[in-house]
């Protein structure tokens, strides 16, 4: 798609989840780098005149200004995706955002899912994450502020070609009773088949956190 095919749409709906928006760069099993770009807001309502569920990418500054959370009624404008295979959110470049009604005040208890306001991007960068089973992400973990669906870029032929997909992750406490990693994830490379990320990168990336942190 080129920019002339993009459309600016109006949307409005009830927020069902707010999650960190990130890119993941994979190079075989040597490197899995996460960069945090903002947040994805998942809504149920109307976008471009169509009723249903959709998601909108917003910036950290927009979240700091609006303090979006579950149950809020949000309206605004956004653009259709320029690179559909690279962006999980349905719309991005959001603007004219307005909270027309607030949802219930969140009360976070000791058990998941944790549905309070999302944390600053620096918190997610510090915590790092573990792979999260995709079915669990779409189910019980979906409303949680620690769940995320990342835009994954796999370096298939270094500097020449890449493969794209989406991967689910969890930034929550290691002790979370809902957590399950799911199947190991294939990381293909040209001429070498696939290695599998079986979780040891998760252990390395979150080694600085205690069991309940």
pLDDT bracket for residue 4 (50, 70, 90): low
Using a pLDDT cut of 70, give the percent of the chain over it: 98
Interval 92-145: pLDDT, tens: 999 999 999 999 988 888 889 999 999 999 999 999 999 999 999 999 999 999
Q: What local confidence, expressed as pLDDT, does residue 5 receive? A: 72
Cβ-contact 18, 145 below 8 angstroms: yes
Q: What local confidence, expressed as pLDDT, does residue 2 receive? A: 54
CB within 8 A of 88, min separation 6: which ones?
Answer: 21, 40, 55, 149, 150, 151, 166
Evaluate if residue 1 carries a pLDDT over 60.
Answer: no
Tokens of 154: 């796999």
Interval 38-59: pLDDT, tens: 999 999 999 999 999 999 999 9
- If you average pLDDT over residues 186-194, what whole number do you get? 95
- DSSP 8-state code for residue 4: G
CA distance 132 to 197: 12
Does this model's pTM top 0.75? My answer is yes
CA distance 114 to 132: 15
Q: What local confidence, expressed as pLDDT, does residue 108 receive? A: 83
Phi, psi for residue 189 in degrees, rounded to 5: -145, 140
Interval 141-179: pLDDT, tens: 999 999 999 999 999 999 999 999 999 999 999 999 999
How does 44-70 read in b/e, with b if 16+ C-beta sit within 10 Å?
ebbbeeeeeebbbbbbbebbeebebbb
């Amino acid at each position: 798609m080129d920019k002339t095919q993009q459309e600016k749409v109006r949307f409005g709906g009830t927020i069902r989840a707010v999650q960190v928006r990130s890119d993941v760069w994979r190079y075989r099993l040597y490197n899995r780098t996460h960069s945090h770009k903002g947040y994805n807001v998942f809504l149920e309502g109307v976008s471009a005149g169509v009723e249903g569920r959709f998601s909108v990418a917003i910036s950290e500054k927009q979240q700091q200004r609006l303090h979006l959370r579950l149950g809020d009624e949000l309206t605004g404008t956004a653009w259709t995706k320029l690179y559909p295979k690279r962006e999980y959110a349905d719309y991005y470049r959001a603007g004219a955002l307005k909270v027309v009604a607030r949802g219930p005040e969140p009360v976070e208890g000791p058990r998941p899912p944790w549905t309070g306001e999302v944390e600053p991007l620096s918190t997610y960068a510090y915590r790092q994450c573990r792979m999260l089973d995709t079915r669990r992400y779409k189910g019980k973990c979906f409303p949680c502020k620690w769940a995320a669906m990342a835009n994954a870029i796999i370096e298939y032929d270094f500097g020449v070609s890449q493969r794209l997909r989406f991967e689910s992750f969890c930034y929550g406490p290691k002790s979370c009773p809902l957590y399950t990693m799911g199947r190991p994830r294939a990381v293909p490379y040209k001429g070498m088949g696939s290695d599998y990320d079986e979780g040891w990168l998760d252990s390395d990336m979150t080694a600085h956190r205690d069991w309940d942190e």
